[in-house]
Chain A
Amino acid sequence: MEKLLQIINAMLAAKNRDALVKLERNFSLRNDIGFDSLDLAEITVRVEDAFGVDIFEDGIVDTIGDVLERIGK
């Protein structure tokens, strides 16, 4: 969770947005974190680099819980 938070916060910084203090499993990447299609594509690359898992392998993911499930946390 900590590593995922770092990835998301680095991406938010690039968008000139404030960092999140913590992640909740029910946070939606799109609705709550505000990621658009380009951001979602970027997070797949960063998560794959960090965890070796393609989170969109079996279709699109929506929540932090979905991401954690895909990376086996």
Chain B
Amino acid sequence: MKDGQEKLFFYDPLPAKAVSYNQLLNDLNRLSVYHPCRLPEDSYTIFLDLLSALIHERELVLLDKDLSGYEIEKLDIPKSFFEAQKLDAVPLTTWSDILEKIKNAHRAKIVLFTSGTTGIPKKITHTIQSLTRSVKISIERQDDIWGLAYNPTHIAGLQVFFQALLNLNSLVNLFELPKDHIHRLIDSYRITNISATPTFFRLLFPAIRSFPTVKRITSGGERFDPLLKSQLQNMFPNAKFRNIYASTEAGTVLAAEGEIFSIKPSHAELAKIVDQELLVHETLLGVSNRFVLDDGWYHTGDRVEIISSEPLTFRFLHRDNEMINVAGYNVNPYEVESVINSHPFVRESRVYGKPNKLIGNVLHCDLVSLDASLDELQIRRFLQDKLQPYKIPRIINFVDTLDKTRTGKLKRS
């Protein structure tokens, strides 16, 4: 593959920054310090940190930029990680060399956190191998232009980043932009591939026109929505549609055209269904001291309904654990409750999700107050500097006592 150095690497509309592969190479060569862990200023900074970690084979801890000090403290990251380290100059001249270096960065570690079921965030350490396992590199893909619709500090965003980078594709940041702005960017940058959550896609509507440049739509992170698929086919008439099952622990595991999944014979050693639960083999996982393995298999907790047994096809139903999926993010209700309960006027609380057509679930909270003057606004404001926005309950009910079960939770069984 020839070096696409003049080619656009990344366009970030906020704050209107376009970086070519050539400029990225210069910026990488100029770096004299390395940040093993920091609150990122913007997506480009995250990409520089990532590439730097790979080229110099260091450990990088990725943090969401909206994490509060309180949340960061819970991650228990050693203080030394927040100190910049000196970098030895490794002169980089061509993109073919850099890509080779990245693909062979076996000692580099990329650390992500996911909401653990116990309330303590679970640390997952990935390698370049686990992050790029599902990346496809080919001549046909060299002119792809990716819309980045995920947070680049999350596994899905990283997978889009590596898919684009390893094919020297251009990336256009669409994450958290208003609908009309996204529409304009798809047209003006002739975006060909968008991978996003159903929530992201739903917010692209209503649209007064279709987008013919897009040839591949990938949906993941939330429950599949057949109605949305048909709406997307009208909006992107030239796009093939793919639904994926992925997790922070394992990256992309399965892909399907709709909600019915199967396990390819070549993947039989990597994923299987036992007692209507998806099990993933440890070879697909990042590293974590919190994985409990059963003879080399990891129980995902994701329950399926078997559609046919020969060949095996199935549909995902729900998770065994209490995690609540809000717009593609997993919220641990115990983490949120413990913050709410730390308010001096709160006796106890219960956080639960109620199904919502737009974002999957809306967080609700039932709360027993110790002071009649406490109101919803005070609670919301109390939580604002302690929790990321998607973890803050949107509806707060003041009650006299809490039910013993999570009453508002969707009963799927």
Contacts and interface: CB of A to CB of B under 8 A. Distances in A.
Contacts of A60: 202-203, 205-206, 358
Interface residues of A, number: 21
Interface in A18-67: 30-31, 36-38, 40-42, 44-46, 54, 56-57, 59-60, 62
A37 B358 contact: yes
B180 A44 contact: no
A45 B354 contact: yes
B390 A42 contact: no
Contacts, number: 62
B396 to A, nearest CB: 10
A14 B384 CA distance: 9
A37 B199 contact: yes
B354 A40 contact: no
Nearest to B362: A41
Interface string B130-159: 000000000000000000000000000000
Contacts of A56: 357-358
Given A14-B377, A30-B178, A59-B205, A38 B357 contact: no
A37 B359 contact: yes
Contacts of A36: 176
A37 B221 CA distance: 15
Contacts of A16: 381, 384
B327 A37 contact: yes
A36 B376 CA distance: 20
Contacts of B357: 44, 54, 56-57
Interface string B194-208: 000001001101100
B377 A38 contact: no
Contacts of A59: 205-206, 231
B301 interface: no
Contacts of B205: 59-60
A41 B360 CA distance: 9
B377 to A, nearest CB: 6
A62 B205 CA distance: 9
B206 A38 contact: no
Given A37-B199, A41-B362, 13 more contacts: A14-B381, A30-B203, A36-B176, A37-B202, A40-B359, A42-B395, A44-B356, A44-B358, A45-B356, A45-B362, A60-B202, A60-B203, A62-B206
Interface of B: 176, 178-180, 199, 202-203, 205-206, 231, 326-327, 354, 356-359, 362, 376-377, 380-381, 384, 389-390, 394-395
5 contacts: A36-B176, A37-B202, A40-B358, A42-B395, A60-B202
